[in-house]
Structures are given as C-alpha cells and as structure tokens.
Structure 1
C-alpha cells in the first residue's frame, strides 16, 4: 500500500527534485506537499541559495566514489532533459567547458564526461600560470527558469506548496498542515517527512545539525550573449574563478568561497576582484570588435551582483533516517524523518542522484513501518 502523505521541508533544487521523484515513485494514493519559508518566486535574497547558483555541471567529487555516483547519475538525467526538443530544453545550454589548474596534474580528471580531453601545450599556454587542465562537453542551467520548471512540474503532478517557516519537525508531524494554512486543516498529517532544509537544518528544531555551516559565494551577472563557452581556473594564490553562460545570454562570473560568512549583500571590493579575474580568464567577455579591451569594456555589461550561502556540512551530505516517536494524538505511530541536506556547492549537479538515495531511504522506512504495524496487529 502506498503512503498517503509525504512532506518535504525545503523548496530549493534538492527539495523540488526529491518531491518530484517521490510523486513519480508513488503515482497513485499519495500526496506530496512542500513546506518552505522561501520559494523561487520570492524576491531574490541570500536566504534562498538555489537562485544564486551559476549553475553548471562540473563535478567536485575529487575521487569520492559516492559523490561521483551522485554526480554521474545527475548528469545523465540533466543531459537528457537538455536534449533538443525536450520540454525542459530552454532551461539548459550545452557547452564546451575548459578548466585550468596550477597543479602539475589533475588528481581526478573527469574522464567520464562527453568529449573529454586533457589540455596540453598551447592550450595551457593560453592562461599564464596554468600547468594542467581539461576540456569536456557539459551543460549550464538557467537557475530561475529551471526552478520554475520544477515547481510547475511538481504542481502538475498534484503537489501542493505551503509557504511557511517550520520551527520544529514535531510541529508539522503533530499539528499537520492546518497549522500553516486553514485550507488544509482536514488533510491527514504526514506519513513521512523529508528534510531538504539546506542551511536551515542547523536551526530547525528536532534536527539542529551543528555540522552545517555556510560558505558564502559572490557573483556577477553580465550580459554577453556572444559567449557560448564555459571556463574555470584554480590557480595558486587566487580564488576559484568561473565563467558560466546561460541560454538567455547572461553570463555568471564568479566567485568566492568564504566559510562561516553570513554577510547578506555583495561587497564592492569582491565584485571588483571577480570582474578582474573573470576578464583575465575570458577577455572575450568584452563586446566583439572592441579595440584594446579592458575590464572597463565589460563593466557596463554588468546586470547585477549577488551572493548566496552554500549549505555545507562537515562530513558531507547527510543521508539518514530518524524515527519520531511519542507523537501527540497519534498513539504508538512512528514517523520516519529522512535527512537529505548538506549539498554545499554541488546541489544542482548532484540533485537527481541525491533524490534517488532519499527515495530509497523513504521506501525502506515505510516498508519497515508497515511490517512492524502488521506484526503488532497479528
């Protein structure tokens, strides 16, 4: 028998992707509801990180087998979604991406990516200070458009959004959805809760995971529709720099990685540094035909600056089931709490693989609860 009510806490890319996976795994007899304090339709703020992501698919697994598996599965799904003629094609741009490094050799080259090759000779000479590099085909994501696509797909599948801040997981388990909206006061309480709260998992009552911490990132969005390639560099003594083109002609230029920094607005000096590094990496950002281009040639193209807090976690993503017991008004019933958070800077590129693990944990927990209930009733 399918579960009746599944609640997902969080409406970022991980929460949306997982909610859809649950809907598709249980197409009948199950309702999925997303409860989140911030939605993609809200004004952009540092509290909702998914809107600020670049984003592209460039694995940071660094040889970790589990993370590589998540990233590979996600790439395969997104590559299919980006295919010409697909309903989601407009969310993506297929590109050639090139990475430069000051390391003598890349420790974990992404040989599983399409059209992969190691950079040598003149390719490396193009960027002073680079000693190794690679090139491959990948995709970029127009994050506002993709989040809207996922939200619409969730709704088409019968999903419901509730915009509310949950202070403790027991509030939603014991009080139900009626605590947050009178329209759903008669809806049954959740059979299971999936926690996709990102950085919110640090303060969410009943979770309060102190291993969570922010990694602040800052970017520029530049209007340069002539740029159709991706580049990134990690050179000694500098912050990681990247150029991520979107299908709509915007270019995301970054970035920074500052742990435990909650500063909520862009810092002007960092924006200037990002512009300098971005132009060094890709002077093609200047309009075609510009004579002797400099960063001042690019400055008028800046549409806006932004910053977000990556939801990092010591020990990596948390995939775990906890059981909530002694639930007021629900007798001896136990409700599984599926933890799925801590994706740091790889939420988009691991979202589909991550949702597979969360779905497996959910299914196992619900099967176990059903078996226990049957044994107790025997």
Structure 2
C-alpha cells in the first residue's frame, strides 16, 4: 500500500470484541477504504470470564424474531452468511455443524421459520411435553470458541488491528485513539468514526450509559455426548422457559438453560445445574450413553459423568431491542465525527451478527458521506 493510499484510509475504532464487535469490525475492514482497530478488554482467546458473554453461548441459529420484520431480515441475512461459511470444505466449516432441529412451543406461537431449510410443521400427534405447536427444519450450530477465533484471525489477516484496553469513557478513544491504550499517548492520526459494540458494557460505558441495557443470566452445562447429532428445544417465551440441546461438530453438547432478568450472579448454581439436567433428560432421553439406555432407562446421575463444564453468561438485553443508530460527537481535530451504535442483541448476538453489521456499515458510510459533504 502506498503512502497516499494509506493516508486516504478512514481510521475506524470499534469498541468491543464479542461476536457483534468482531463481525462488525470485520465487515468494515473488508470494505475498501477503512483501517479498523478493535479496542477491548477481553478477546476470544482469553480464559473464560463472566465479563465476556460470547464464549458462553450455545449457540445455534434459531431466530426468535417471529413477526418482527426488521429483526427477521437481520436474522435471515446472518443465517445466509453462516450457511455459506459452513459449506463442506469451506474455510469455516470446522466452526459449524449442520443438523436437523425440532422446536416445541409450549405457548403455541408461530415462530415464522418457514424459510428455514426442510421446514415442516409438526402434527398435533407428534408434539411432546405439553407443547401446543412445533416445527422441524435444518439449521446449524456454532462452536463459539472456534468461531470467535476464526472471526478474529480473518479480521487480522485482512489488515485489521487489535488493542487491549479498558475504555471507561468514549472521550478517551475520541481524543487519544487506540494508541492511548497501546502506548499511553494519543494517535498522530485522529479517528474518523467510532463504532460502539460493548454488549452489556453499554450500561456503564461513559458517554453512552444506556440504562435500557440489562443482563439476562443464562446458565449452561457443557457435556461430552458425541452420539447426539440433532438439536431439540422446548420453550415458552412469556414465562421465560427454555430447554435446549445444542450439539457441536467436535462432539460436545451445550444443554440449558435459564433466562433470568437482572440476575448478576457470576458462577453456576449447583441446584440450577441439577434442574437443567432434569429438564434436558426429559426433553432428550438420548443424552444418556447408548450402552446404558440399552440396559435401562437413564437418570440424571448418568449425565453427571459427561459434564465437562458448568457456567453462565450475561446476555446483553436491551428494552426496545438492538440499538442501531448514529450520534455526532466532537472529534480531536475539532470537527464532528459519527459514533455508530450496534448493541443490545440479548441472546441473539450470533444469529443477528452479520445482519446488524451490514446495517452498522451502512450507517457508517452514510454518516461519513454526510461529513464529507460539509
């Protein structure tokens, strides 16, 4: 790259390295004309911590947008991207597992997922566990540690950069740029835009402090059950009841879960783990090793030796849904610069990541074009 090309690049800083921050940063970096730096306190290859929700997620692509047309469009775009990424022999195939999925709904709702591959509505005779409706389709699950590392490595290979730093207020980034956290002094080149993807951190980040953001605690159990090659969920949205079986390509299975608003307890509760094992066994007796099931009905005690890990994460929920908009703030050079917000995904960060990144990029480009016209 020539010096002239480098000087023409727009300097963009993204706050946050969860699945939304990484995807948004990657989307912008891969669009010509941008030099993107991610500033974050925690990155995917760090040890698991309650401060970094993305590593705790299941995750599978099952949209909960239902009749919300805007959210459904975001989720559908994300599914299309992930379906392509998960293609056999593709560069990210190892991050995904294409599986048959069955969803049971205790509240009888229509999930509006007839666009999913192989979609079928379940007959009343095939419903279980008191469900009033249900469907089957093909989807994909995501090995979250592998996928986050894939996003990060792809971002770096495209010329993006990362800086570890704990941003207390947006003004620190606006005035000092990423070098403030890298070298302890301001960048020579001022930033042209700031992208705010701090997840739950949006609640306390100075200059944002969005009190509509709150945690929804989700506890999960990771077990080793390589014979499980399908997904199964039963839920009741209004009551916050969710039981799910999410297998990964590597033979691990995430089982769960819970949805507890404003619960900040940072480690797994033993009684909740017992409840998860009980509910998941009822939903999916196949979790018990085949050799045991061949001799007798399985029990939760048969599942405990399979446990690899118990943990929980704080889903970054927001009243009103995802925040995708722009504010203008005073830049270090004296002119106004755009600050693009992309946070508040709750439990849908993975399934809406690419669609919301597209909107964030569009907001960024329109804002920069507006700034250039003044």
TM-score (norm: length of structure 2): 0.94
Q: Give the 3-state SS of the residue equivalent to 2:347 in structure 1.
A: coil
Aligned to 2:276: 274
8 Å contact 1:36–1:163 — kept in the other structure?
yes
2:302 pairs with 297, 320, 341, which one?
A: 297
Aligned to 1:229: 230
User: Structure 2 CA distance, aligned partners of 1:346 and 1:217?
Assistant: 12
Aligned to 1:48: 52
8 Å contact 1:222–1:253 — kept in the other structure?
yes
Aligned to 2:83: 79
**Which structure 1 residue ranges, 5 or more long, are not aligned?**
373-378
Q: Give the 3-state SS of the residue equivalent to 1:289 in structure 2.
A: helix
Aligned to 1:367: 369
User: Structure 1 CA distance, aligned partners of 2:171 and 2:111?
Assistant: 43
1:338-377 matches, cutoff 5 A: 338-372=340-374
Q: Per-residue deviation at 1:178?
A: 2.3
In structure 2, relative to structure 1, the CA distance for the partners of 1:250 and 1:212 (3 Å cut) is same
Q: Give the 3-state SS of the residue equivalent to 1:73 in structure 2.
A: helix
In structure 2, relative to structure 1, the CA distance for the partners of 1:296 and 1:239 (3 Å cut) is same
8 Å contact 1:13–1:348 — kept in the other structure?
yes
Aligned to 1:24: 30
User: Structure 1 CA distance, aligned partners of 2:179 and 2:239?
Assistant: 53
1:98-117 matches, cutoff 5 A: 98-103=102-107, 105-117=108-120
In structure 2, relative to structure 1, the CA distance for the partners of 1:368 and 1:73 (3 Å cut) is same
Q: Per-residue deviation at 1:175?
A: 1.4
Q: Per-residue deviation at 1:234?
A: 1.6
- 1:68 counterpart = 2:72: yes
Q: Per-residue deviation at 1:108?
A: 3.4
Aligned to 1:92: 96
8 Å contact 1:3–1:191 — kept in the other structure?
no
Q: Give the 3-state SS of the residue equivalent to 2:175 in structure 1.
A: helix
- 1:334 counterpart = 2:336: yes
8 Å contact 1:82–1:88 — kept in the other structure?
yes
8 Å contact 1:109–1:134 — kept in the other structure?
no
Q: Per-residue deviation at 1:123?
A: 2.1
Aligned to 1:153: 154
Q: Give the 3-state SS of the residue equivalent to 2:72 in structure 1.
A: helix
8 Å contact 1:177–1:187 — kept in the other structure?
no
Q: Per-residue deviation at 1:131?
A: 2.4
User: Structure 2 CA distance, aligned partners of 1:225 and 1:115?
Assistant: 24
Aligned length: 364
Aligned to 1:5: 11
User: Structure 2 CA distance, aligned partners of 1:350 and 1:177?
Assistant: 27
1:281-292 matches, cutoff 5 A: 281-290=283-292, 291-292=295-296
Any idea what the Cα deviations from partners look like across 1:313-351, whole Å, max 9, x if unmatched?
0010001100012x45x13x1111001100000000000
Any idea what the Cα deviations from partners look like across 1:196-255, whole Å, max 9, x if unmatched?
001101111111111100000000000000000000002597821000000000000010
8 Å contact 2:124–2:132 — kept in the other structure?
no
8 Å contact 2:176–2:187 — kept in the other structure?
no
Aligned to 1:255: 257
User: Structure 2 CA distance, aligned partners of 1:258 and 1:272?
Assistant: 17
Any idea what the Cα deviations from partners look like across 1:287-329, whole Å, max 9, x if unmatched?
112122111111100101010000000010001100012x45x
1:235-250 matches, cutoff 5 A: 239-250=241-252
What is the alpha-carbon root mean square deviation over aligned residues? 1.6
Q: Per-residue deviation at 1:184?
A: 8.0
